[in-house]
């Protein structure tokens, strides 16, 4: 099982702040994005646009980073500053 959190604009877009996925034992961020895309149109748009940064256990990661059972994955929109 993994816990997936959504922050900021993504939480609003998906109308979801968190999910628990019980059948995801191990895989990459990219694989998790594909699995989430199967949840519907809004989810697929989020995935297709690659509109979110990802973190595993509160550390920024790349698309190829491995997720293991028990991890917490967070997706959030890119932050801009001035």
Provide the 3-class DSSP secondary structure of residue 35. Answer: helix
| Tens-place pLDDT, residues 4-22 | 999 988 899 899 999 999 9
Distances (CA, A) of 80 to 36, 71, 77: 25, 27, 9
Q: What is the pTM of this model?
A: 0.89
**Domain architecture of the chain: domains with CATH:** 2-76 (3.10.20.30)
| Element at 33 (helix H, strand E) | helix 29-37
CA dist 3 and 21 (Å) reads 6
pLDDT surpasses 70 at 82? no
Within 10 angstroms of residue 1's Cβ, the number of other Cβ atoms is 11
| Tens-place pLDDT, residues 21-37 | 998 878 999 999 999 99
pLDDT number for residue 79: 72
């Amino acid at each position: 099982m993994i816990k997936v959190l959504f922050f900021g604009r993504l939480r609003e877009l998906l109308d979801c702040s968190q999910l628990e996925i019980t059948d995801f034992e191990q895989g990459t961020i990219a694989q998790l994005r594909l699995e989430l895309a199967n949840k519907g149109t809004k989810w697929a748009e989020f995935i297709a646009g690659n509109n979110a940064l990802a973190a595993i256990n509160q550390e920024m990661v790349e698309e190829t980073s491995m997720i293991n059972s028990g991890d917490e994955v967070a997706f959030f929109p890119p932050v801009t500053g001035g």
